[in-house]
Amino acid sequence: MFDNFHLPPLEQRTIAATLERGAQAHPDKVALIDTQSCLTYGELLDMSMRTAGALAQLGVARGDRVLLMFDNHVDFALAWFGLALLGAVEIPVNTAYKGALLAHVVDTSGATTVIAESHYLPRFDELSSRAALCRAIVRGEHPGRASLPIIDWLDVRGSGVAAIYRNTFRDVAGIIYTSGTTGPSKGVVTYEAHAYNYSTPVALGAPTHEDVSYVALPQFHVGGHMCGIYAAVIAGATAYVPARFSTTDFWDDVARVKATFATLVGAMVNFLLSEPASASDCATSLRRVALAPISGRTKEFLERFGIEGCSGYGSTEAASPLCVPLGAALVPFAIGWPRPDYEARVVDEDDQPVALGDVGELVIRPREPWTIMGGYAADSDKTLTAWRNLWYHTGDGVRQRSEDGQFILVDRLSDSIRRRGENISSYAVEAAINAHADVVDSAVVGVPDEDSGQEVLAIVVVHPNTTLDGLGLLEYLVDQLPHFMVPRYIRFVYEDFERSPSGKIRKDLLRSIGTNGAWDRRSADIRVTRDGLVRNADGPQ
């Protein structure tokens, strides 16, 4: 299964060592490209070192924590690698975060510097006084006045005296925030070796040095960050970074850059399949894709476009410990077999192994040091809860097939909702809804959806005399939540939820009722975009 699996020694599993290997092996080969920029491997190392030098001149020091809130482009990787070569700690931030969600990241990360697009800078204005933030490095035109001292990104981008601090494999490379599926987002302390192990393409068998890899996922997301950019650089491939994934532009972009490999989430596959079939579908340059999850439509997608597929299981905390490599059968909801460098088990509530075929919680641990998370930033209690009895507890329910020992994902044990590749915290959505003056309580669950995987259903207990309706609550929530978290379905009720003996809401009962009687914003011709509500509009929502 993993006959060709081989990793370099731990000492070589760092960003600095990876960039140096690439620059030495193929300095003139294109490493990163977007619609505006192109960097060879030699230029990538040089520009990253000069960016590190410029950051050092500004006072950013080794170990400093730096928030990175960039859109998708080559400069994201340049900022990330510059921080790594300085020995600073990169903290990628979801570009949809604002308000309380962004404040939580700022407060718990201990960041002193922000590197952000100019259009995100106002979100930090109200947060600057409550944190250790002392400067903002801004890409794009910005106002002359702000709550933080502003440095232009163009004065930092590859403009300093070349500098490099060679982190060891056990140094902290970043703090990557989870989606907060069972509470507030947690900052995962990520070592250099952990980041390398998450990203290494060798377990899947793709990409290779011959590939042009289409990085469809946002770079703040571990899928775009690690499985996209870093995996391509480790392989010596070329990574193409579009501004965003677009169903209508995807195949044209693939053809234009001659992409041969891509990483896609389930919603992307569904949207691409929804386009009219063509006799030229199999003429694409794309040859291999990594897909997660494997669904009932995966085979249809691969056959229609003449593509090979691979898959696996990864999490911010645990790297990518299970894989379905190229050439293996793609079974719906399968997450593969443990890589040679990780162990995996399925256990009951007492952490005892369950019988083969029974459902339990997936727990994993590494066979090498420093290749799993170093804990949660500013949250030792949750670190101890997740990492107990010498195993990391994923919170995912799985079973193992008797036929071949492959692990099958059954359900999330937490209240996570996965919509179009984004993990959504029901806790965060409920907190936003409950802040409304007319709301008594709320419960948020995921409901199945053919296109999006899941959609968000909010059941809201309101005061008896309220005039609050679905549109009114929606107008309130678009200012409180990232667009992808805003519920599609809202059902108002006037009595409290049925609860367990411990007082927890019986969400299993709410899921069984589903969307019956719920207001549907799609039926009301309302879309939610990054910019707010759009009325009387068709298209994905």
- Which ranges of 478-519 does DSSP label H, i.e. alpha helix? 507-513
Residues 204-218, mean pLDDT to the nearest whole number: 94
Residues 449-472, mean pLDDT to the nearest whole number: 91
What's 365-385 look like in SS3? EECCCCCCCCCECCCHHHHHH
**474 pLDDT more than 60:** yes
Residues whose CB is less than 8 angstroms from the CB of residue 486 and which lie 6 or more positions away in sequence, other chains included: 456, 474, 477, 478, 528
Of the chain, the percentage scoring pLDDT greater than 70 comes to 96
Half-sphere exposure of 441 (CA within 13 A, CB side): 9
Using DSSP, state whether 508 is helix, strand or coil.
helix
pLDDT at 488: 95
Tell me the pLDDT band of 59, cut-offs 50, 70 and 90. very high
The answer to whether 289 and 262 are in contact (CB under 8 A) is yes
For residue 489, the surrounding DSSP H or E stretch is strand 489-493
The answer to whether 213 and 206 are in contact (CB under 8 A) is no
Residue listed under structure tokens 């699996």: 5
Residues 158-181, mean pLDDT to the nearest whole number: 91
DSSP string, 250-314: HHHHHHHHT--EEEEEHHHHHHHHHSPP-TTGGG-S--EEEEES--TTHHHHHHHHT-EEEEEEE
Measured CA to CA, the distance from residue 153 to residue 134 in angstroms comes to 16
**515 pLDDT more than 90:** yes
- Alpha-carbon separation of residue 188 from 109, 176, 469, 498 (angstroms): 10, 5, 38, 34
pLDDT at 234: 98
Nearest to 174 by CA among 229, 217, 134: 229
**502 pLDDT more than 50:** no
The answer to whether 468 and 436 are in contact (CB under 8 A) is yes
**541 pLDDT more than 70:** no
Residue 93, amino acid = V
pLDDT at 119: 94
In the predicted model, what is the mean pLDDT of the chain? 91
DSSP string, 107-174: HHHT--EEEEEGGGTHHHHTTGGGS---EEEEES---S--SS-EEEGGGTTT-S--------TTSEEE
Work out whether the CA dihedral 419, 421, 425, 429 comes out positive or negative. Answer: negative
Half-sphere exposure of 307 (CA within 13 A, CB side): 28
Strand ranges (E), 316-463: 319-324, 334-338, 342-347, 360-366, 387-388, 391-400, 407-412, 417-419, 422-424, 439-449, 453-462
- Alpha-carbon separation of residue 490 from 312, 445, 473, 474 (angstroms): 34, 11, 9, 9
**209 pLDDT more than 60:** yes
Highest mean predicted confidence (pLDDT) among 386-395, 419-428, 462-471, 506-515:
386-395
**501 pLDDT more than 60:** no
Residues 304-310, mean pLDDT to the nearest whole number: 96
**537 pLDDT more than 60:** no
* Tokens found for residue 505: 């809401």
pLDDT at 507: 85
Peptide bond into 207 cis (omega under 30): yes
Tell me the pLDDT band of 414, cut-offs 50, 70 and 90. low
Measured CA to CA, the distance from residue 489 to residue 541 in angstroms comes to 12
**181 pLDDT more than 80:** no
Q: Which of 66-70, 268-272, 467-471 has the lowest mean pLDDT?
A: 268-272
Q: Which is higher by pLDDT, 497 or 65?
A: 65
Nearest-5° Cα angle at 345, 344 to 351: 135
Residues 33-55, mean pLDDT to the nearest whole number: 97
b (16+ CB within 10 A) / e for 317-330:
bbbbbbbbbeebeb
**336-392 tens-digit pLDDT:** 999 999 999 999 999 999 999 998 999 999 999 999 999 999 999 999 999 999 999
| Distance between start and end Cα atoms, the chain | 40
The answer to whether 491 and 519 are in contact (CB under 8 A) is yes
Residues whose CB is less than 8 angstroms from the CB of residue 71 and which lie 6 or more positions away in sequence, other chains included: 95, 117, 243
* CB neighbour class for 221 (10 Å; exposed up to 12, middle 13-18, buried from 19): buried
